Amino acid sequence: MQSAIPVHGHLLEVDEDSAHMFDWDLLRNTSSVHIMTRIAEERGMPAVACLAGTGLPVEAVIDPNAEVTARQELTVVRNLLARFGDEPGLGVEAGSRYHISLYGPWGLAMLSSRTLRDAVEVALRYVELAFAFGQLAFEESDGRARLIFDDREVPEDVRGFLTERVMTGIQMIGKELFSVGIPVERLAFRHGGPEDTSRYRDAFGIEPEFGAERNEFAFAAAYLDLPLPQANEWARGTCEQMCRDLLARRHARVGVAGAVRDLLVRNPGQIPDQATVAADLFMSPRTLSRRLSEEGTSFRALLDEVRQALSEELLDFTDMTTEQVAARLGYAEAASFIRAFRRWKGCPPQEYRTRHGRMVTRVPELV
């Protein structure tokens, strides 16, 4: 099944069966949970009640070395909304407390970027290190830049709150990247809105649209290429490496998913199909699909993950052409690889290489 997702002014075709699935067991730091418990306590709800069902002790939310899963954080959000879900703009209130320092190396990489465009690029590349539930995409056209939040994977009972939290978090990042902030030209939500929208107007400076076709945060594209006041290429490079290392640790696969991933990377020149992997694991393809689903993933998602990681390694550290990389990753033709790479990184492989300082002369790339 094909769909089109707008990124960098292009409509990218995405195979929805192989598109990235949100990993509910992905680890994240406890800053977000701490914010939720503070909001609860301010309204008379004890932190222990806000953490009910998570298995987390109260002291864990203030431990800088502690980590929680997205699933645990979702439980905290549900506990909060069970008591205070009728409060207008509660998601906006939560999002207003997300300062760039809470995001660790992800936030610092944005802060040290050369321009807002570069900051957006690094934000999307390592968005799993943020506190979003769902997918972010970027679109630029007609003099406007737009950040699109796809909330379709977010459970309906928490969708409005978490979408508002993400959009307000974007606004807070903008204010910290530019001391005067970035004027919002359009703010749209898919969910319905409350009668009292004062909290939204105070946070964004405009009246939001509710019941829209998509969640959209739009601003003038002219801001994209303005220099950021704290730009530092060395710092950004260091923070990006920290982001890569942190994601690698958090994505370490265990169980059946780990076994599948090991088989997929065993020989990058001959990536096996699902039937072959299932046979190697002494189970049927249907059983393999069920076991992976129980672990919150799929064979296609793992294959996509492995191909993305290997493609970046091959482009960064070898002189292989696009066609050679595509063949090494098991693609029948380079065009299929280029489409996939655009989906992963928002640009074709050749442009990715140029941005990362690769100056090797190579054959012209397909488009």
CATH, residue 183: 3.90.1520.10
Are 195 and 270 members of one domain? no
CATH, residue 319: 1.10.10.60
Which amino acid is it at 33? V
Q: What is the pLDDT of residue 197?
A: 96
* Mean pLDDT confidence for 274-287: 91
Q: Are 219 and 175 in contact (CB under 8 A)?
A: no
Are 14 and 152 members of one domain? yes
In a domain, 241, yes or no: no
In a domain, 365, yes or no: no
Are 9 and 90 members of one domain? yes
Separation between Cα atoms, residue 337 and residue 302, nearest integer Å: 16
The domain tally of the chain equals 2
Residue matched to tokens 């949970």: 33
In a domain, 237, yes or no: no
Are 267 and 200 members of one domain? no
Are 199 and 285 members of one domain? no
Q: Is the pLDDT of residue 357 over 70?
A: no
Phi/psi of residue 139, each to 5°?
-135, 140
In a domain, 362, yes or no: no
Provide the 8-state DSSP code for 44.
T
Residue after which a domain boundary falls, among 225, 260, 282: 225
Q: Determine whether 289 is exposed, middle or buried from the number of CB atoms within 10 Å of its CB (0-12, 13-18, 19+).
A: middle
- What is the maximum alpha-carbon separation in the chain? 65
Condensed to tens digits (0 to 9), the pLDDT of residues 107-122 reads: 889 999 999 999 999 9
Are 40 and 149 members of one domain? yes
Condensed to tens digits (0 to 9), the pLDDT of residues 163-199 reads: 999 999 999 999 998 877 889 999 999 999 999 999 9
Which amino acid is it at 313? E
In a domain, 236, yes or no: no
What share of the chain has pLDDT > 90, as a percent? 44
In a domain, 328, yes or no: yes
Provide the 8-state DSSP code for 271.
-
As beta bridge partners, residue 145 has 140, 219
Are 289 and 153 members of one domain? no
Residue after which a domain boundary falls, among 186, 208, 225: 225
In a domain, 259, yes or no: yes
The whole domain housing 201 covers: 2-225
Other beta carbons within 10 angstroms of residue 11's beta carbon come to 11
Condensed to tens digits (0 to 9), the pLDDT of residues 122-173 reads: 999 888 888 888 889 999 999 999 999 999 989 999 999 999 999 999 999 9
Angle (nearest 5°) at CA 250 between 245 and 252: 95
Are 272 and 177 members of one domain? no
Condensed to tens digits (0 to 9), the pLDDT of residues 216-235 reads: 999 999 999 999 988 998 88
Are 66 and 150 members of one domain? yes
The 3 state secondary structure assigned to the chain is: CEEEEEECCEEEEEECCCCCCCCCCCEEECHHHHHHHHHHHHCCCCHHHHCCCCCCCHHHHHCCCCEEEHHHHHHHHHHHHHHHCCCCCHHHHHHCCCCHHHHCHHHHHHHCCCEHHHHHHHHHHCHHHCCCCCEEEEEEECCEEEEEEECCCCCHHHHHHHHHHHHHHHHHHHHHHCCCCCCEEEEECCCCCCCCCHHHHHHHCCCCECCCCCEEEEEEHHHHHCECCCCCHHHHHHHHHHHHHHHHHHCCCCHHHHHHHHHHHCCHHHCCCHHHHHHHCCCCHHHHHHHHHHCCCCHHHHHHHHHHHHHHHHHHHCCCCHHHHHHHCCCCCHHHHHHHHHHHHCCCHHHHHHHCCCCCCCCCCCC
Are 135 and 208 members of one domain? yes
Are 53 and 192 members of one domain? yes
Are 145 and 258 members of one domain? no
Residue after which a domain boundary falls, among 225, 260, 291: 225
In a domain, 364, yes or no: no
Q: What is the pLDDT of residue 228?
A: 92
